[in-house]
A = this chain, B = another copy of it.
Amino acid sequence: MDRVDKILAQWRKERPDLDTEAMGIMGRLNRLTTHLAREVEQVLQRHGLSSSAFDVLATLRRSGAPYRLSPGDLLSMTMVSSGTMTNRIDQLEKAGLVERVLNPDDRRSVLIALTEVGLVAVEGAAGAHVANQQRLMQAFSAEEKAELDTLLRKFLATFE
């Protein structure tokens, strides 16, 4: 009888006509991801990064040397609007973690490049972040993780 069960019990009493199965799953998903996001944020904060900042830096890092992508590339990899991406790049540039370099091939666009400082920051944060993600899933056996991944993959396929 967790918090979501209590919510569902209230609905069943007040609106017995509503089917609560999907509601329960989505409620657990929402609460879970809120908790997870807070845990992730805490660890990244110790490395001086927000999860938004890490999102961009990690995208650049995993793209491989020379760690440069256009804002458009970053946009297509990160589920945020163009205005949000501009803002993220502005903040990272102010902090000296990335720099905008001119794209000689297309003057409409720029390339966002990890600076030396940015590279060091993301390398350090990435290790701690991945370890933290593993810690957050300690409760699960290898089989359970595989099952969960399979179900989430199928669910996500509805949208992507």
Contacts and interface: CB of A to CB of B under 8 A. Distances in A.
12 contacts: A4-B156, A7-B77, A10-B62, A22-B134, A22-B136, A23-B130, A28-B149, A29-B36, A29-B152, A30-B33, A32-B155, A151-B151
B13 A153 contact: no
Q: How large is the interface on A (under 10, 10 to 19, 20 to 34, 35 or more residues)?
A: 35 or more
Interface stretch (A42-50, A87-95, A103-111, A137-145): A137-145
A72 interface: no
Interface of A: 2-4, 7, 10-11, 13-15, 18-26, 28-36, 40, 61-64, 77, 79, 126-127, 130, 133-134, 136-140, 144-145, 147-149, 151-160
A9 to B, nearest CB: 9
